Amino acid sequence: MGSEPMLCGGIDIGGTKIEARLFRGAAAETVEVRRIATPKLAFVALLEAIVEQVRWLESLDPAPFPIGLSLAGVIDPETGIGYAANIPVTGYALGRELGQATGRDLPIVNDCMAFAFSEANGGAGDGARSVMGLILGTGVGGGICIDGQLPHRHGGLAVEIGHLGLPAQALARHDLPLFKCGCGREGCMETCVSGTGIANLAEWRLGNRMRAEDLVAAGTDEAAAVLDLWQDLAGDCLYAIQIMLDPDRIVLGGGLSKLPDVIGRLTRSLEAKRMGSVRLPEITLARHGDSSGARGAALTARTEWPT
Ligand SMILES: [Zn+2]
């Protein structure tokens, strides 16, 4: 570990902002942050914005250091062609274009995989061999890290649990309709388990698109019933993760991870669905929060950096 460079940089490319962070030391603590808005329309403008962030990071130290990128989207591992819902990279070879523009290799990792990698390396996943990072935010996304490393992905997908359909048992149990999902399908986990999902459930039950924090603040029986419904459906999502991936630990991130007693709620919900006496994964809160995408990308680049 002593030969690892002291500095590493990460650039997290999201739908609203491109955030560059400089990290220092073996534990990769943030020392500098710079955010700019994500250009929404043109790939050329996006490329320029990312290059600007690379140059800013490079300006912070005269000696070269590793820099990695995380992207809220998919990069095909064979062709390098990108696909994203909210970032104009679809159809473009982002890595190749950035290599030409900057004269350096910049590894790119999916943001949910970066989150899992960050938490598994000096985060809430420390000490666990398999770590599932589950982000409950506007949408639902996940990543998996095994023995401290990201497994190879055939098509560049993360753990796209948000776009798995809710199980028929769950729909029947609550007489739920199929809500439309941003991916174009209906009835995906994300349509009930994410922050948007809670608003869907509130509108369906109460006729009002309330946010999770509004439901908590309302404190009424009706509001509590919507949160309990969310809790039950989130347990179905955790159960799907458990039976397919069987991780040692599930690390939670995203806005809904700030709900009161969220670990207790989700643990109880998963326990109620347990298959036989099978060992349950530990559920815990992320340590690195909003820096996870950039930190995971920076650590990925540090791992690949020639020493
Ligand atoms: Zn979907």
Measure 139 CA to ligand 1 centroid, in angstroms: 9
The confidence score (pLDDT) of residue 306 equals: 86
Beta bridge partners of 32: 22
Q: How far apart are CA 44 and CA 200, in angstroms?
A: 36
| Residue-by-residue DSSP string for 43-57 | HHHHHHHHHHHHHHH
Distance 227 CA to ligand 1 centre (A): 21
Which residues have CB under 8 Å from 37's CB, separation 6+?
Answer: 16, 17, 18, 49
Single-letter residue type at 214: D
Which pLDDT does position 289 carry in this prediction?
86
For residue 33, the SS3 value is: strand
| Span from the CA of 130 to the centroid of ligand 1 (angstroms) | 25
Which residue ranges form the domains of the chain, and what is each CATH number? 7-110+290-304 (3.30.420.40), 124-286 (3.30.420.40)
Beta bridge pairs of residue 81: 93
Q: What is the DSSP string of 240-268?
A: HHHHHH--SEEEEESGGGGSTTHHHHHHH
pLDDT in tens, 25-72: 999 999 999 999 999 999 999 999 999 999 999 999 999 999 999 999
Please tell me the distance between residue 278's alpha carbon and the centre of ligand 1 in angstroms.
Answer: 29
**What residue ranges of the chain have pLDDT lower than 50?**
1-2
Distance 76 CA to ligand 1 centre (A): 20
CA–centroid distance, residue 136 to ligand 1 (Å)? 14
Predicted local distance difference test score (pLDDT) of residue 160 = 96
Contact 114, 106 (CB under 8 A): no
Distance between CA 28 and CA 301 in Å, rounded? 12
**Residue 239: its pLDDT value, please?**
98
Amino acid making up residue 55: R
Tell me, in angstroms, the distance from the centre of ligand 1 to residue 182's CA. 6
Cα(286) to ligand 1 centroid in Å equals: 24
pLDDT in tens, 80-118: 999 998 899 999 999 999 999 999 999 999 999 999 999
H or E element at residue 152: none
Query: How far apart are the CA of 189 and the centre of ligand 1, in A?
Result: 7
Q: Which two tokens mark 297?
A: 């990308």
